[in-house]
Structure 1
Amino acid sequence: MTQHETQPSTPLSDIKVLELGQLIAGPYCGQVLADFGAQVIKVEPPGKGDAMRQWGAADRGTGEPLWWNVIGRNKQSITLDLRQARGQELLRELASDADVIIENFRPGTMERWGLGYDVLSQANPGLVMVRVTGFGQDGPYASRAGFASVCEAMGGLRYLSGYPDRPPVRVGISLGDTLAGLHAALGTMMALHQRERTGRGQVVDSSIFESVLAMMESLVPEYARAGKIRERSGSFLKGIAPSNAYPARDGRDVIIGANQDTVFRRLCQAMGQPTLADHPNYATHRARGEHQQVIDELVAAWTRQHDAQQVVDILAEAGVPAGLVYRAPDMLEDPHFQAREAIIEVPDHHGKPLPMQNVFPRLSTSPGSVRHVGPALGEHTEAILTGWLGLGTDDLDALRDNHVI
């Protein structure tokens, strides 16, 4: 499905954002804002630009990395060397006309460049500065380099990921970075809303480890008050049954979640064993948790009698949550993905349709949209510096000669 050329007005179309961050966490915040209409100007170092331009698998036809097309989508790109005094000066001028500035350097970097919030907010009191780091802007670990892998471990996620008889594993994506980017985007919207009341901006401090910690449910109070430390349990959650991956006749796995009393009863009926729901070992949530292994064996014995899609169809009819484990090909072929336009096709720089995830969440009257893939490095430098700052051709030539842009 191709994205419509004509889109309704978007909720952030009046917001100007300068994105200084690189890699994933800061730029994902920028992606979210850009998806909902903000003018996001990505400021990149001259030469190679953001390292994300080189990450991920390459297009079979062109050899160009593909990930940049997603995380850079809907943004404009300018080059600016922030290590030079002239580059810093230009950034201060741009920031005086911006609503939001996103950065994910180590704490203190912006201050060393003369670009701290105390400086930028003097000329623009309404500016919102979004700072994304591994460990936050203060505290004893603030100056440490913080990639998602390390911060996911500190936030508690890694300890719970995997099987109890093996070392912790990671999810196959940089989840901590994305969570920090989402929290940064949420904080941006809160700060902008507060600005409507006060006229003043503020600093949004989004750390990766705390963004992961925020997702850890009752992990901390369970230890503090019940002495319980959650442990790795593999494909299920201890005490939650049946809720697991179950093998089908055709070799595929089916995810089934039937741990609620009424849902478990419907599962038993679908399995042709309705009396199981009344057995004292399985009749309540706590009882099922205590007999988790036996229940999983009973469910697996039934799923092995059917192909995976048959299991899903039977349980969908019975009102039991169940689904297949999807890969990218399954997503592209699935009729529900297609009906929802969950994946859209966006023309790449060569005019070829490139499938990627749509914009979420969906707004009924002012939805976000994907307007174009990630821009070429410095594609909008001239337009932004002339349009925002009124620089002329001679000014731009001098900046190029001095490698500022």
Structure 2
Amino acid sequence: MGIKVEGKVYGDIERKKALEGLRIIDLSQVYAGPYASKLLADMGAEVIRVESAVRSGRGGQKPQSGAVYPDGEPGERPYNRSAYYNELNRNKLAISLDLSKDQGREVFKRLVKVSDVVIENFSPRVMENFGLDYPTLRQIKPEIIVVSISAYGQTGPYRDYVSFGRGIEAMVGLSQITGYDDSQPLGPGIAYADAAAGLHAAFAVLVALRHRRRTGKGQHIDLSLRESLTPLLGEHVLDYSMNKRAPERRGNRDSSTIFQGCYRCRGNDAWITIAIYSDEERESLRNAIGNPTGRDEDLDNVIENWTLSHEPDEAMRILQKAGVRAGAVLGAEDLTSDPHLKERGFFEIVTHPEAGTHPYP
């Protein structure tokens, strides 16, 4: 059988996904762990979610506060219609177990015996309390790979502290450097720490699988949200260690650029970002907006006077043609209809029996 791509068959080899034949038991909740297992499921792994019989991550019969449902309607089974849950848990199977009961733990151990990886993101004491920590699981299957995602790691004085991504973004200093110089610290628009930890966890699983293939040994991966995010602020940490200079909140400015800002455009809540990294780019910007000679201290006003007469996409095309780094500020409604993403086939159109048909990133 050949490879079938968009209705066409190529060659005589059946194409398989990279992780086909791999089984992952996913105990994780909320964002970081489910995001990691989603990526692995996308690569072909069989992911079995083990959800609490007492407190399910998808919610119960009543609609969850703040959850997004198709057409705003939770329906009779809101736990199957949540946009958040369906996006993070696509391509997965699920089973409901009560791990506080002997029977639930026995079923879980039977699953571990026929699986390759376990992912969990409880606080460290939880798996120990269940009697399902890594030393126990290793006795069941010596080559098992266990990924434990937690806020601060399995050891240290903060070991049992709990947090979501928002708290971690504050604890690594990301919130401290986000905002304007005269404003309070701000968090990013998404749970950035969870996304970073999820990516790290998926990569760690791939490395552990390679290690097991070479040595036959499993391992316990201790992954901290805080330690996953901190390296992304490396320049600020090094600046302080070298120069005792703490970073400042700069709003839309960036210390690595000559000039950077976000400017209003024509239309309701319409914006564009512009970044200049060299004198040549600055001259290209001035020429593009019809201001070849002028003072840099007036450049903000000159740019916005020009952008206000253009819609974001139009301004971006003009500036990009001139060699200026510019990008329209888009919302979700713009992304789902973006012609570039459509041409590249970025969104997958998925039909869910209860949530309906929608584009998934």
- TM-score bracket for this pair, using the shorter chain length: 0.7 to 0.9
Contact 1:242 1:296 in 2 (8 A): no
| 308-317 or 47-56, which deviates more | 47-56
Q: Are 2:16 and 1:12 aligned?
A: no
- Counterpart of 1:25 in structure 2 is 32
Q: Are 2:325 and 1:321 aligned?
A: yes
3-state SS of the aligned residue for 2:261? strand
- Structure 2 counterparts to residues 326-405 of structure 1, below 5 A: 326-350=330-354, 352-357=356-361
3-state SS of the aligned residue for 2:50? strand
1:302 pairs, out of 288, 300, 306, with 306
Q: Are 2:263 and 1:256 aligned?
A: no
Counterparts of 2:301 and 2:72, CA distance in 1: 47
Q: Are 2:197 and 1:180 aligned?
A: yes
Q: Are 2:92 and 1:88 aligned?
A: no
Counterparts of 1:5 and 1:26, CA distance in 2: 34
Counterparts of 2:18 and 2:189, CA distance in 1: 32
Contact 1:13 1:39 in 2 (8 A): yes
Contact 1:52 1:67 in 2 (8 A): no
The aligned amino acid for 2:162 is: A
The aligned amino acid for 1:340 is: R
Contact 1:345 1:356 in 2 (8 A): yes
1:190-242 per-position Cα deviation (integer Å, ceiling 9, x unaligned): 11111121110111122111122121131111011112111111122246232
Q: Are 2:277 and 1:267 aligned?
A: no
User: When the two structures are superposed, what TM-score results if normalisation uses the length of structure 2?
Assistant: 0.87
The aligned amino acid for 1:341 is: G
Aligned length: 341
Counterparts of 2:287 and 2:238, CA distance in 1: 37
- Counterpart of 2:247 in structure 1 is 230
- Counterpart of 1:117 in structure 2 is 134
Counterparts of 1:307 and 1:338, CA distance in 2: 21
Question: Aligned-pair RMSD on alpha carbons?
Answer: 2.4
CA gap 1:129/1:308 in 2 versus in 1, 3 angstroms: same
3-state SS of the aligned residue for 1:333? coil
CA gap 1:156/1:194 in 2 versus in 1, 3 angstroms: same
- Counterpart of 1:60 in structure 2 is 71
Deviation of the 1:98 alpha carbon: 1.1
| 54-63 or 333-342, which deviates more | 54-63
Deviation of the 1:5 alpha carbon: 8.9
Counterparts of 2:7 and 2:96, CA distance in 1: 28
| 5-14 or 34-43, which deviates more | 5-14
Deviation of the 1:261 alpha carbon: 4.0
Deviation of the 1:300 alpha carbon: 2.7
- Counterpart of 1:243 in structure 2 is 260
Counterparts of 1:202 and 1:187, CA distance in 2: 11
Contact 2:36 2:199 in 1 (8 A): yes
Counterparts of 2:298 and 2:145, CA distance in 1: 55
1:106 pairs, out of 119, 123, 126, with 123
| 255-264 or 308-317, which deviates more | 255-264
Higher relative contact order (CA 8 A, sep 6+): 1
Higher strand share: 2
Moved over 6 A (4+): 3-7
Deviation of the 1:319 alpha carbon: 2.4
The aligned amino acid for 2:47 is: V
Contact 1:152 1:208 in 2 (8 A): no
- Counterpart of 1:367 in structure 2 is none
3-state SS of the aligned residue for 1:142? coil
- Structure 2 counterparts to residues 107-146 of structure 1, below 5 A: 107-146=124-163
Counterparts of 2:316 and 2:190, CA distance in 1: 27
Deviation of the 1:315 alpha carbon: 1.2
Deviation of the 1:121 alpha carbon: 1.3
1:68-123 per-position Cα deviation (integer Å, ceiling 9, x unaligned): 11011010001111111121122112112211100111112212222111111123
1:349-381 per-position Cα deviation (integer Å, ceiling 9, x unaligned): 248312221xxxxxxxxxxxxxxxxxxxxxxxx
Q: Are 2:315 and 1:311 aligned?
A: yes
3-state SS of the aligned residue for 1:163? coil
3-state SS of the aligned residue for 1:21? coil
Contact 2:262 2:272 in 1 (8 A): yes
Contact 1:121 1:127 in 2 (8 A): yes
| 242-251 or 334-343, which deviates more | 242-251
- Counterpart of 1:38 in structure 2 is 45
3-state SS of the aligned residue for 1:60? helix
Deviation of the 1:271 alpha carbon: 2.6
- Counterpart of 1:204 in structure 2 is 221
Deviation of the 1:139 alpha carbon: 0.6
| 11-20 or 298-307, which deviates more | 298-307
CA gap 1:5/1:106 in 2 versus in 1, 3 angstroms: farther
User: When the two structures are superposed, what TM-score results if normalisation uses the length of structure 1?
Assistant: 0.78
